Amino acid sequence: MPAESVVHVSYYDVEPYANFRGKCLPTETEWEYVTFWNSDTGQKLVYPRGNNYHENRANLNREIFPPTETSAIPPGVSPHGC
């Protein structure tokens, strides 16, 4: 289904596709920075949207086994807009 996130793919699966599309994948350091670092406070967050877990903000802990439609989770952003 087009609205579902891609799951269970490796870097080696995705990197050739990103290159084909003229894009690149973030490094682990870049990803950690944009998803967890709050520049305003100078602290790393526990979760991308804050320090408290909210079950309706992600498909975590195998609560929903199949992929989740992207519209099923409320929009939100990390401090850097991810």
Task: Give residue-wise pLDDT tens across range 7-58.
Answer: 778 889 899 999 999 999 999 899 888 888 888 888 898 887 778 877 767 6
Q: For the residues of 15-71, what is the DSSP string, one character each?
A: HHHHHHTT--PPPHHHHHHHHHEETTTTEE-SBTTBSS--GGGS--TTSS-SPPBGG
pTM confidence score:
0.60
Alpha helix (H) residue ranges in the chain: 11-20, 28-36
The structural domains of the chain, with segments of one domain joined by +, span 11-72
Task: Please give the Cα distance from 22 to 26 (Å, whole number).
Answer: 13
Encoded amino acid at 82, one letter: C
